[in-house]
């Protein structure tokens, strides 16, 4: 029986009418005969008993099925777009900075590494449905803040805007509207939980650099109160007071304490506590897990760190299981946003080995979401897209060559190795001598770079003296130099260290047909609110009203942070290029 047949479609109990009606007609015919005349023969009698029994059994079976499935079925409304009634879950996935070229490179790399046939596809590939145009109001090339505002509010805004509009007023988000409607909500990322993409769902500030304010709003010091039930990721430093080591806050407020004491959060910050969540079966909401001061390490590095940090897939599974359990007895399901945040960072760093492993980690998390939906008895949809592309890479390069073995030989990201170099230089500095005149120390450093970083870390055995010298000459750019050494050998070209305006892909599970084809990014946002059937405009109205009347009893200053300069907006998309510590 096709799930969309009117049979299961709406109200339970009475919803079995069509088949029942056909059955009624049969039995009416029979009973008509029965009333008129006594059964003429045994055959007729047994046929009647048989049909009656069948009708009883079928009706009972249908009632059981209707009770089991009743709330999950969809009513086709206008043939094309169908909106479910009853309980449902929505999982929205973002691959920050992932463009079509990173996909081609990753697919090909995976085939090479696993000796798979050339038609082997990623889990993502099997759910490709369309593409999205990404420009913002301030630029043809968007940043993650304007990109995520398009998803969260369904509206275009300027680069750097965290769910704020060009007139500097807040716009309600799909997560906030979902929370108000009774859904449970979650955010899972591999970068700071205060970074632009997650911030756009649960906070409102005029420029993305206001991460201290974003942290406060995310835990509940927000015009609407606490709107998030689960947060997993990095960015702990924005929650710790400036008197603590590992803090990056400007003030002395302890947001982890505020979260626990005032807003009731359960707070964890390490792998052991993450393991005790048992992939979600032992979670108490609200839960905030911040596993790194800043970013969770790149997948290529993380997997060599004794599992100190959870992977995106582990966090995604934990979040889905926890939210499903918490909504088990609720009429509403959950809304969860999962972001592979650092595909973008690997793009900024032009580091192909780090990027393919980030995309593969995302693909595994993506597969776990599909698996969850397949096994869930609650109606659910997954939509996945990117905010923009970063770096724009072309596996073709000048000679149409592509050497995936080069990437397979790399065991660490370039930024990690640059960090090792910084540490090494810090530890071996001899202030009694001038480095320029210290030939033996120069030779030692060259040997360390070649043997420990280039040969072991990058898997490159044929580094030239010029390449090593380039690292020694400009240590702050070591990360770019390492990435460039790998890219050249693999014959991968990068056009920029920044974002590009290329259309990005949209992926979706069953039920996401409305997003087939080419769309503006705000149409993805529209899909999210339509699927959940929530009133985002009512949230906007409430935010606007509260921002003028309530202006800050708990907070000194403005709810939404300072007004950005034109330069701050112009450079929003280069945020990481300028501030990413390893690139400096
Ligand atoms: C820490 O924050 C307080 C305000 O809460 C400020 O007065 C102080 O200067 C800050 N200290 C540092 C080292 O930034
Ligand atoms: C990869 O590493 C192996 C082992 O060190 C080496 O023999 C091979 O030449 C490397 N390949 C490339 C393309 O760097
Ligand atoms: Zn970026």
Q: What is the pLDDT of residue 551?
A: 53
Among 458, 490, 522, the domain boundary falls at 490
> Is 445 in the same domain as 542?
no
* Alpha helices, DSSP H, located in 376-477: 404-408, 414-428, 439-448, 465-473
> Is 310 in the same domain as 437?
no
> Is 211 in the same domain as 265?
yes
Question: How many other C-beta atoms lie within 10 A of the C-beta of residue 387?
Answer: 32
Q: Which residue is catalytic, options 131, 132, 138, 144?
A: 144
Range 367-384 burial, b when 16+ CB lie within 10 A, else e: bbbbebbeeeebbbbbbb
CA–CA dist 76, 581 (Å, integer): 51
Query: Domain for residue 186, yes or no?
Result: yes
Residue segments in the chain with a per-residue pLDDT below the cut of 50 = 1-43, 45-46, 49, 51-52, 62-81, 552-556, 576-584
> Is 472 in the same domain as 545?
no
Residue 4 dihedral angles phi and psi, to the nearest 5°? -90, 0
Which range of residues forms the domain containing residue 434?
Answer: 409-490
* 244 within ligand 1 shell (Cβ under 6 A): no
> Is 159 in the same domain as 299?
yes
Query: Domain for residue 583, yes or no?
Result: no
203 is catalytic: no
* 242 within ligand 1 shell (Cβ under 6 A): yes
CA–CA dist 151, 306 (Å, integer): 36
Is there a binding annotation on residue 318?
Answer: no
Tally of CA atoms within 13 A in the half-sphere of 342 that contains its CB: 32
* 517 within ligand 1 shell (Cβ under 6 A): no
- C-alpha distances (whole Å) from 32 to each of 35, 56, 507, 563 are 5, 19, 56, 81
Question: How many other C-beta atoms lie within 10 A of the C-beta of residue 49?
Answer: 10
Residue minimizing CA distance to atom 1 of ligand 2: 409
> Is 159 in the same domain as 261?
yes
Query: Domain for residue 332, yes or no?
Result: yes
C-alpha of residue 353 to centroid of ligand 2, in Å: 14
Cβ contact 391:356 at 8 Å: no
Ligand nearest to the CA of 159: 3
C-alpha of residue 346 to centroid of ligand 3, in Å: 9
> Per-residue pLDDT tens for 279-322?
999 999 999 999 999 999 999 999 999 889 999 999 999 999 99
C-alpha of residue 240 to centroid of ligand 1, in Å: 12
Cβ contact 334:323 at 8 Å: yes
Residue 192 dihedral angles phi and psi, to the nearest 5°? -60, 135
CATH number of the domain bearing residue 560: 3.40.720.10
Q: What is the pLDDT of residue 384?
A: 97
Query: Domain for residue 293, yes or no?
Result: yes
> Is 420 in the same domain as 326?
no
3-state helix, strand, coil in the chain (%, to 5): 50, 15, 40
Query: Domain for residue 499, yes or no?
Result: no
Query: Domain for residue 324, yes or no?
Result: yes
> Is 139 in the same domain as 274?
yes
Q: Any idea what DSSP says for residue 162? A: B
CA–CA dist 421, 582 (Å, integer): 10
> Is 525 in the same domain as 476?
no
C-alpha of residue 305 to centroid of ligand 2, in Å: 23
Query: Domain for residue 458, yes or no?
Result: yes
Q: Which residues contact 45 (CB under 8 A, 6 or more apart)?
A: 39
Q: What is the pLDDT of residue 130?
A: 96
CA–CA dist 358, 300 (Å, integer): 7
> Is 289 in the same domain as 423?
no
Q: What is the pLDDT of residue 580?
A: 44
Residue 129 dihedral angles phi and psi, to the nearest 5°? -130, -20
When divided into structural domains, the chain yields a total of 2
Q: What is the pLDDT of residue 419?
A: 94
Residue minimizing CA distance to atom 13 of ligand 1: 242
> Is 205 in the same domain as 245?
yes
Is there a binding annotation on residue 377?
Answer: no
Query: Domain for residue 240, yes or no?
Result: yes
> Is 422 in the same domain as 334?
no
Q: Any idea what DSSP says for residue 453? A: I
């Amino acid at each position: 029986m096709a799930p969309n047949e009117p049979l299961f479609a709406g109200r339970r109990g009475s919803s079995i009418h069509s088949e029942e009606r056909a059955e009624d007609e049969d039995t009416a015919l029979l009973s008509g005969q029965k009333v008129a005349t006594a059964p003429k023969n045994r055959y007729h009698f047994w046929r009647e008993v048989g049909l009656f029994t069948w009708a009883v059994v079928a009706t009972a079976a249908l009632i059981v099925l209707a009770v089991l499935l009743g709330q999950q079925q969809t009513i086709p409304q206008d043939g094309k777009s169908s909106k479910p009634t009853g309980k449902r879950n929505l999982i929205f996935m973002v691959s920050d900075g992932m463009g079509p070229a990173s996909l081609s490179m990753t697919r090909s790399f995976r085939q090479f590494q696993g000796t798979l046939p050339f038609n082997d596809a990623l889990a993502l590939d099997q759910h490709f449905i369309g593409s999205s145009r990404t420009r913002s109001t301030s630029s043809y090339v968007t940043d993650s803040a304007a990109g995520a505002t398009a998803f969260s509010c369904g509206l275009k805004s300027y680069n750097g805007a965290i769910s704020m509009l060009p007139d500097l007023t807040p716009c309600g988000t799909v997560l906030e509207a979902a929370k108000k409607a009774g859904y449970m909500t979650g955010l899972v990322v591999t970068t700071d939980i205060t970074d632009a993409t997650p911030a756009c769902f649960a906070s409102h500030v005029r420029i993305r650099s206001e991460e201290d304010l974003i942290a406060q709003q995310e835990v509940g010091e927000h015009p609407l109160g606490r709107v998030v039930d689960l947060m997993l990721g990095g960015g702990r430093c924005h929650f710790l007071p400036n008197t603590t080591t590992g803090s990056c806050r400007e003030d002395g407020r302890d947001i982890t304490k505020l979260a626990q004491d005032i807003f009731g959060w359960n707070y964890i910050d390490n792998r052991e506590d993450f393991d005790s969540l048992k992939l979600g079966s032992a979670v108490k909401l609200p839960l905030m897990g911040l596993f790194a001061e800043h970013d969770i390490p790149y997948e290529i590095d993380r997997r060599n760190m004794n599992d100190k940090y959870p992977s995106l897939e582990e966090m995604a599974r934990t979040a889905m299981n926890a939210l499903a359990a918490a909504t088990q007895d609720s009429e509403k399901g959950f809304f969860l946003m999962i972001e592979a945040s650092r595909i973008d960072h690997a793009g900024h760093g032009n580091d192909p080995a780090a990027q393919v492993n980030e995309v593969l980690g995302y693909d595994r998390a993506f597969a776990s979401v599909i698996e969850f939906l397949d096994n869930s008895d609650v109606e659910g949809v997954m939509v996945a897209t990117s905010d923009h592309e970063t770096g724009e890479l072309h596996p073709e390069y000048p000679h149409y060559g592509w050497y995936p073995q080069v990437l397979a030989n790399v065991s660490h990201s370039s930024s990690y190795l640059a960090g090792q170099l910084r540490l090494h230089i810090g530890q071996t500095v001899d202030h009694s001598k001038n480095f320029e005149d210290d030939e033996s120390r120069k030779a030692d450093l060259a040997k360390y770079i070649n043997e420990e970083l280039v040969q072991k870390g990058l898997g490159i055995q044929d580094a030239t003296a010029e390449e090593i010298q380039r690292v020694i000459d400009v240590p702050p750019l070591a990360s770019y130099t390492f990435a460039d050494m790998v890219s050249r050998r693999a014959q991968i070209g990068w056009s920029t260290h920044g974002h590009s305006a290329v259309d990005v892909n949209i992926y979706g599970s069953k039920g996401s047909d409305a997003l087939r084809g080419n769309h503006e990014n705000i149409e993805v946002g529209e899909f999210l609110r339509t699927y959940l059937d929530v009133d985002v405009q009512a949230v906007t109205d409430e935010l606007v009203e509260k921002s003028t009347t309530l202006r800050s009893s708990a907070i000194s200053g403005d709810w939404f942070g300072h007004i950005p300069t034109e330069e701050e907006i112009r450079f929003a998309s280069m945020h990481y290029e300028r501030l990413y510590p390893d690139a400096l």
